[in-house]
Amino acid sequence: MTTAHSGTDMQSFPCYLVANWKMSLSTRQSLELATALMHEASMMPIPDDLHTWIAPSFLAIPDIARKVAGTRFRVGGQNLWPEQHGAYTGEVSPTQLKEMGATFVIVGHSERRSLVHEGEELIRRKVKSAITNGLACILCIGETRDERKAGKTLAVLRSQITSAVLGLSPHEVRSLLIAYEPVWAIGTGEVATTEQIAEAHTTISTIVAELTTARCPVLYGGSLKPENAPEILALPSVHGGLIGGASLQSGSYFELVRAGLAGM
Ligand code: 13P
């Protein structure tokens, strides 16, 4: 099992800056960006407790895994199918991900929940399968604008966490990270306030502890940018970020790395 953290009660977590490149780049562009990141990293030593993870498209994983081998960067998938093999046309298994060089996977991103109607039961199976098959798992949760307006944010988070972590042992939670991504903040330029983020993150940590007796890092995602990162990444309840748009250029990604370092 790839444990991402120690999951004990007393520790503060490392900082994770996870680049989600979504379907934004060709394989060639992905490799170019990875090369630029390596170059930037060579000029700026990254401490052990700051984790730099990249989730490119499935197609670019093997090339990028080779490119970053021996560096502090880790590569992961943006999705997986919970079964190991079989008649699942178009899907990718945890073993296939690992074979390509992935060490983590993102599960339950709001784009998958809304675009391909991924439901809670499938998300739960994906989380369990990722972890039992040795991948660290970033579970994405978050409320829509309507849910926030209706005052349902904390109830939505509780329900999404409860269904996804059902059946995880405290040991398995050591491979879990949660990304709080308010749906209304993703790709919109509209960022949650530090009060909204702190409230959501504290609630998420409490719910995970209640359900599993363990803790996991909670990352923020949703229009995280160099301009807002210093304030957000300095919040004690924020253990890093899941970054879309601002991760598509090495310069802005490394500004987030510097903000992460300053907030540690
Ligand atoms: P943006 O940073 O582009 O808002 O995307 C966030 C996200 O969805 C990361 O998974």
In the reported structure, the alpha carbon of residue 86 is separated from the centroid of ligand 1 by a whole-number distance in angstroms of 32
Which residues lie closer than 8 Å to 253 by C-beta, 6 or more apart? 17, 19, 37, 40, 243, 246, 247
- Per-residue confidence band for 103, with pLDDT thresholds at 50, 70 and 90: very high
Query: Given this model, what pLDDT does residue 4 score?
Result: 76
User: How much distance in Å is there from the Cα of 186 to the middle of ligand 1?
Assistant: 5
The protein residue with its alpha carbon nearest to ligand 1, atom 7, reads: 244
Query: In the chain, pLDDT over 90 holds for what percent of residues?
Result: 93
Tokens at residue 152, please?
Answer: 């349902």
User: Which residue shows structure tokens 């790709």?
Assistant: 187
Span 135-191, pLDDT tens digits: 999 999 999 999 999 999 999 999 999 999 988 999 999 999 999 999 999 999 999
238, 218 in Cβ contact below 8 A? yes
- Give the pLDDT band (50/70/90) at residue 1: low
pLDDT score of 11: 57
Residue count of the chain: 264
Catalytic residue among 111, 147, 172, 181: 181
Which residue out of 5, 51, 109, 201 is catalytically annotated? Answer: 109
Q: How do residues 223-243 score in pLDDT, each as one tens digit?
A: 999 999 999 999 999 999 999
Q: Is the pLDDT of residue 259 over 70?
A: yes
Global model pTM greater than 0.85: yes
* Whole-number Å distance between alpha carbons of 154 and 125: 23
- Catalytic: 91? no
Relative orientation angle of helices 153-165 and 194-212, to the nearest 10 degrees: 30
Is 85 noted as a catalytic residue in this protein? no
Q: What is the whole-number distance in angstroms between the Cα of residue 49 and the centre of ligand 1?
A: 23
Q: What are the tens digits of pLDDT across the range 183-225?
A: 999 999 999 999 999 999 999 999 999 999 999 999 999 999 9
Q: Could you identify the atom of ligand 1 that is nearest to the CA of residue 188?
A: 4
CA-to-CA dists, residue 197 to 1, 52, 56, angstroms: 30, 22, 26
Q: Residues 56-84: pLDDT tens digits?
A: 999 999 999 999 999 999 999 999 999 99
Task: Annotate 118-136 with b (16+ C-beta within 10 A) or e (fewer).
Answer: beeebbbbbbbbbbebebb
CA of 35 to the centre of ligand 1 (A): 22
Residue ranges around ligand 1 (CB below 6 Å): 20, 109, 181, 186-187, 221-224, 242-246
Q: What integer pLDDT is reported at residue 133 of this predicted model?
A: 98
Pocket test for ligand 1, best of 21, 78, 138, 181 (most atoms within 8 A of CB): 181
User: Which atom of ligand 1 approaches the CA of 110 most closely?
Assistant: 8
Atom of ligand 1 minimally distant from the CA of 224: 2
